[in-house]
Amino acid sequence: PDEAAVEAVRLRERQLTKPAGSLGRLEWLVEWLAAWQGKAPPTVDRPLVCVFAGSHGVTAKGVSAYPSDVNRQMLENFAAGGAAINQICASLGLGFKVFDLALDMPTNDITEREAMDERSCVATMAFGMEAIAGGTDLLAIGEMGIGNTTVAAAIYAALYGGPAEHWVGRGTGVDDEGFRRKVAAVEAAIARHREHLNDPLETLSRLGGREVAAMAGAILAARLQKIPVVLDGYVATAAAAILHAIHPSTIDHCVAGHLSAEGAHQDVLARLGKIPLLALGMRLGEGSGAALAVGLIKSAAAIHRDMATFAQAGVSERLA
Amino acid sequence: PDEAAVEAVRLRERQLTKPAGSLGRLEWLVEWLAAWQGKAPPTVDRPLVCVFAGSHGVTAKGVSAYPSDVNRQMLENFAAGGAAINQICASLGLGFKVFDLALDMPTNDITEREAMDERSCVATMAFGMEAIAGGTDLLAIGEMGIGNTTVAAAIYAALYGGPAEHWVGRGTGVDDEGFRRKVAAVEAAIARHREHLNDPLETLSRLGGREVAAMAGAILAARLQKIPVVLDGYVATAAAAILHAIHPSTIDHCVAGHLSAEGAHQDVLARLGKIPLLALGMRLGEGSGAALAVGLIKSAAAIHRDMATFAQAGVSERLA
């Protein structure tokens, strides 16, 4: 983090025509942007929402309320501008890109074998790193992939232990039987790979999915390119959790965009030390919660950049 | 509320390309908009932030960290586009109006006499009702006025009882001595008017201030004109609390934009049955928290209006 940029932000912040600290987390967000962009004032001129789409062999175990055909259909819906995330990006002026991570080649069923071999996992991370090469000053990462809340739950169970029931949620809306199938799938995956879950990167390649690997790559690349990152919900946070398990500081440039309604997200965010910006009971994915949070951050940056100082506006400062 | 419009929203909502309920409170917000606008789909095409500015005699008791001169200076800052709320409105595309409520004629010091006579209070409410005559489809109400967190605390103490310390906060940032002066002022005001605080409208005229009266008028006028309202923080909520004390249903068309860092706001919102949309530790006023919330509501309306249906996008619906 660029401490000089943070100091410059604080210096300006004290001169703006408002009581010190009165914008709460908005002020903190500007310091965070400056710290990781390495400049003051920071900018949110080219915010970008990237959605990574993956396909999961574990859907064979009946873990989702939707068929895997939806992956390809939703990609077309994104391209046609018909999904929720398209409307959020349009209403807030955010760039939007979708990445197809070999949707027609699902990962292996993790209850039976490893999702990807290590080579494929690394290649997918590299693909995710390339994804942001077009340039942005604030990156929101999200995902789409039928079955991927099961994969995220397996990753959390591997990283943090505890019963599968704690980590499994209703996803897109499975019924009680579907929920039990998800729990069983997570238990089977953990049992199957138990001997190989000590290394976070091996956990990633064994449990998947491709979108989680790509998001992990994108988070790392953003750090190197001085781009702060806004995490979406339960599945996107799994990519951050893998990196955090390697070393906690690897995700210092990330904020949690929102608290997902997928139950265990609160526990995960607490373990990562992240306080979500929004808590609206959303559980859609597609980067939707992160994108709404980018709207807040954009306003925070505009406030910091464009407000008048006490001197400029001729406003009296506080009484001595 | 227009139940037919709500039903029409729900019918469309079920056909949009996302799992049912997956947008959480965003979906509820669209129903709320439809209920009070009386149309489906509801719109957020002309959102408007109205800031009401008042001047308070109780500042003679040393209740604020800033001098009352700031009222006029901030009005000029709003007009010049230099305040925080200007930047929020610009970044989110919101209309913005400021109303000067006789800033050069402060209300009386409420520790000594009534803030306004009843005639003046009613005239100020009527002024607030006129304020929104220019037309809007979503109104955010906020305020500015040195000393007005003391007035709001007095109103809450009058409506809900309990010790003054519970209702008094740090406002724009008073020190411990200033805090004690605020508590003493609220205690003195309650003691002075004790016999006359059973009627909410008399409470309003006795404790003030003009911006609270004008906001109460604006909230009522919005209801009559089918305009949903987003409340800002601690002081704006006092206007809603007066109306709520007259009859709880009078503020059903209002949502709480955010939870203010002014401590007792949480208690007030709980009494009003309002769950805030944002909780970012803000305590600036100026409608800033409400305006950010309007950004969310604008996105929610855009999602509902513009998303593709399952049929339009050729996306498979959930498994039977």
Nearest-neighbour CA in chain B from A135: distance (Å):
21
User: What ipTM was assigned to the predicted interfaces of this complex?
Assistant: 0.96
| Residue B76: per-residue pLDDT | 97
For chain B, what are the domain ranges? 43-303
Q: What is the CATH number of domain A45-313?
A: 3.40.50.10210
For the segment B187-203, the average pLDDT, to the nearest whole number, is 97
- Chain A contact set for B83 (CB, 8 A): 17-18, 307-308
- Give CA angle at B209 (B203, B214), nearest 5°: 95
B66–A319: do the CB atoms touch at under 8 Å?
yes
Determine the Cα–Cα distance for residues B235 and B171; give it in Å rounded to an integer: 10
Amino acid letter, residue B197: L
In CATH terms, the fold of domain B43-303 is Rossmann fold (3.40.50)
Q: Does B90 touch chain A (CB under 8 A)?
A: yes
| Residue A133: per-residue pLDDT | 82
| Residue B250: per-residue pLDDT | 98
Give tens-digit pLDDT for B99-139.
999 999 999 999 999 999 999 999 999 999 998 887 899 99
Active site annotation includes A286? yes
Q: Residue B299 corresponds to which tokens in the numbers above?
A: 């996105």
pLDDT band at B320 (very low <50, low <70, confident <90, very high): low
- A85 Rama sector, left if φ>0, alpha if ψ -120 to 50, beta otherwise: alpha
| Residue A314: per-residue pLDDT | 94
DSSP structure string for A226-278: T--EEE-SHHHHHHHHHHHHH-GGGGTTEEE-B--SSTTHHHHHHHHT---SB
- Is the distance from CB of A184 to CB of A270 less than 8 angstroms? no
Determine the Cα–Cα distance for residues B75 and A314; give it in Å rounded to an integer: 11
Helix (H) or strand (E) run with residue B47 in it: strand B47-53
Q: Is the pLDDT of residue B317 over 90?
A: no
Q: Does A102 touch chain B (CB under 8 A)?
A: no
- Is the distance from CB of B284 to CB of B261 less than 8 angstroms? no
% of chain A at pLDDT higher than 90: 95
Q: Which of A114, A211, A262, A286 is catalytic?
A: A286
A83–B18: do the CB atoms touch at under 8 Å?
yes
Q: Which residue shows structure tokens 């965003």?
A: B26
B87–A313: do the CB atoms touch at under 8 Å?
no
Q: Which of B74, B298, B315 shows the shortest C-beta gap to A73?
A: B315
For the segment B285-307, the average pLDDT, to the nearest whole number, is 98
Which residues of chain A are under the pLDDT cut of 50? none
Nearest-neighbour CA in chain A from B216: distance (Å):
25
pLDDT band at B318 (very low <50, low <70, confident <90, very high): confident
Give tens-digit pLDDT for B223-260.
999 999 999 999 999 999 999 999 999 999 999 999 99
DSSP structure string for B23-38: TTHHHHHHHHHHHHHT
**Residue, of B319 and A264, whose pLDDT is higher:** A264
